[in-house]
Amino acid sequence: MDNIKTDLLVIGAGSGGLSVAAGAAQMGADVTLLERHKMGGDCLNYGCVPSKALIQTAKVAHAMRHAAQYGVASVEPKVDYAAAMDHVHGVIANIAPHDSQERFEGLGVRVIREEGRFVNTDAVVETEKFRITARRVVLATGSRPFVPPIPGLDTVPYLTNETLWDLRELPAHLIVIGGGPIGMEMAQAHRRLGARVTVIEGQKALGKDDPEMSAIALDAIRGEGVEVIEGAQAARVAGSDGSITVETDDGRKIAGSHLLVAVGRKANTESLNLDAAGIGTTRTGIRVDKHLRTTNRKVYAIGDAAGGLQFTHVAGYHAGVVIRSTLFGLPAKAATSHIPWVTYTDPEVAHVGMTEAEAKKEWGANHEVARFDYEGNDRAQAERHTTGRVKVVVHNGKPVGASIVGHQAGEHISLWAFAISSGSKMKDVTGMVAPYPTYGELNKRAAGAYFSPKLFESEAVKRVVGLVQRWLP
């Protein structure tokens, strides 16, 4: 077994691990990167990239069916599901070189394609061929689909976000267990591609978002023919390839051809031998402090492994925090109040900061809510994307949370993420000039809606204006 001494050992070559490795190596650190499976991790190979590629194919099919509203004849698209999956894998292949072993070795990273496990509390990690002693270790091992212990599930073929992309034929009837982002995105995409789709959700679909906003998205999804069953747990599963039945706890039976399990994620920590390193865990992942340091001061955990928000951009943000700590010794902290997230249904649902319910719990009546609907935006009218709303939660004149449901909501939420992270006030947003006609005006109009009652319904303002007009020459 060969010995390696390194400044920084990164375990996991997903988005967070790659960001740490690239940044540290380019700033002069000796970096070793372990990856037991595919470079690029879940996001590139099974998550963000393939799902958005398939969603785009589904959007094209949907647009063809509804082209008449633009003066173009609507047609029923001929969907070649195998070709759609070829498109998905083609997108992955186009991005893969950026995350490849060759690129990172070119940056000066020592890349080892093996599994590693701790052997002691001194941050010593062993693989099959190497014994690695590191000054600091960053655990970026990501997560995998959580498979619930539903009776019968282990006897039937089922899909997860990792295996879905191997399909070559469109499911006749896709049953989705789980009404979260992954479940709802794939449900709508497959419905648009021509499959019958039923979603079974134990509580509320899109339940982590503001209910006012998620209701708008769910109405649109149901309107396209996706059956969404809420408040029903999958109690048992039976059947075989091409014929699967899910029975809910209220006695309903749903028969379909394929089953997708999308009920959440589980951190990848089992193979690390964390006990040997004195690293504690929680129910959701590795225990970390506000600096992302584990209970072993030499070891950090980021991204999904840290058990918090499970988004690629969070892992990238964590990478920056850890680089400042491990390379420069700065007391960098990770926060969550400025982290946005998006569900890429159509319409999209995006959020950052506090919800209205959270603000009410925190401050009671000492908060305000401003809204502006997409139908009041001229660009949305021109493109017939009028289903949607911007909702901003305000405290002491500052935005503390925002939710957007509508066309390109994921793009528009960035302004509110910036406003919250920079401590900007609502007047700063109204002071912005947005080009006309753009969807970007929606955020400015929402901010304007916050001030409108104060300006146009205030008797005091009217009296001041009246006095000024009498004195002006």
Q: Is 285 annotated as a binding residue?
A: no
Does the CA dihedral 121-123-125-130 come out positive or negative?
Answer: negative
Q: Is 201 annotated as a binding residue?
A: yes
Q: Is 184 annotated as a binding residue?
A: yes
Q: Is 202 annotated as a binding residue?
A: no
Q: Is 182 annotated as a binding residue?
A: yes
Rounded Cα distance between 444 and 457, Å, is 20
Q: Is 320 annotated as a binding residue?
A: no
Q: Is 160 helix (H, G, I), strand (E, B) or coil?
A: coil
Rounded Cα distance between 356 and 367, Å, is 9
Q: How distant is the alpha carbon of residue 162 from its chain centre? A: 16
Q: What is the token pair recorded at 457?
A: 């319904």
Q: Nearest Cα to 355, choosing from 392, 406, 387?
A: 392
Rounded Cα distance between 145 and 35, Å, is 18
Q: Is 142 annotated as a binding residue?
A: yes
Q: Is 112 annotated as a binding residue?
A: no
Contact between 274 and 118 under an 8 Å Cβ cutoff? The reply is yes
Rounded Cα distance between 139 and 146, Å, is 20
CA distances from 379 to 11, 70, 106, 191, 384 (A): 46, 14, 45, 27, 8
Q: What is the token pair recorded at 443?
A: 């955020």
Rounded Cα distance between 152 and 330, Å, is 51
Q: Is 57 annotated as a binding residue?
A: no
Q: Is 411 annotated as a binding residue?
A: no
Q: Is 143 annotated as a binding residue?
A: yes
Rounded Cα distance between 443 and 429, Å, is 8
Total count of residues recorded for the chain = 473
For 431, which DSSP code? T
Known binding-site residues equal 52, 116, 141-143, 178-185, 201, 264, 304
Known binding-site residues for NAD(+) equal 178-185, 201, 264
Known binding-site residues for FAD equal 52, 116, 141-143, 304
